[in-house]
Structure 1
Amino acid sequence: MGLRKGYSTRSFGKLAFFYLTERFETHKFHEEIVTATHSYNQYASNPIEHPLTTIDRGFRKVECTTDLSSFEPSEVTNLILNVNDNAVNTFIQHIRRRLSILERPLTTARGDGKSYIYSNFNPKYAQMALIILRTYYNFCFPYKTKEGKNTIIATPAHD
């Protein structure tokens, strides 16, 4: 596909950049509303399919609620190519792994273990636990960088 359009690269990332830059010459996430006194941009709910897929998520659409009319197409392309939901997915996985205390364990019929399958929980305490976990995750949770060093993100809590 890239060779037909005159691009000599075989890099999926570069081809996606070229593709999106061309698309954003005409594609808009907002529509212009013109009144008698002024004009403004309004969110149009006009998603675009992300050109790079992942094995675990497949094709996905990207939308932008922020008005990007002052950005050049190449700048919007960089934003779209760098968007992902990895941080949100990681946080949800931490919730799943760390908040089992909200479930009331039941002993199995054989009595050899605990089961959480029919557990009840109080939504009030679930919300409190999520707030605590979110605060810990945002201000205290260390993570490994690509260099493999254990570091902590500089946040207002560390100042």
Structure 2
Amino acid sequence: MAADDVRLVSSGPGDGAAVLALVQESFAPYVERMGKRPAPMDVDYEPLAAAGRMLLAWSGTRLVGMLLTAVRPAALFLDTIAVAPEMQGTGLGARLMSAAEVRARSAGLARIELYTNALMTENLAYYPRLGYEEVGRRVDEGFDRVFFAKQLD
């Protein structure tokens, strides 16, 4: 399936369970590598879904991607992005990341900030390909995190 066959919609009430299932599935491979559950696996997504804070990617009735962002004073914070394993490598992640840029610009922001775990080496290679620059590393909330930022044109 191609990422273009997926429809993107804002989250709403009742979407939290599907989001949690997607996050559990997409982050599961990191549990053994990290020796603990990644933080997004333990979030209550229902209030965030009900507030419309997420962009959801649906393929028919299957949730195959999600993007959770937060508007901060100086930047859009990209909190969580998840793509179903069968959709990884299809361009869906890049499509969601582009949607984050649209959200930032719509909010009058010219910068996006995010972090990933230092052991999620795929992300450490992926974000720079999208124009993100590493801006720091530190232990944060018990996780070894790598911080990235992208200045939008």
TM-score band by shorter chain is under 0.3
* Higher alpha-carbon Rg: 1
In terms of fraction of residues, the more strand-rich structure is 2
Query: Which has the bigger relative contact order, CA under 8 A and spacing at least 6?
Result: 2
TM normalised by structure 2 equals 0.23
TM normalised by structure 1 equals 0.22
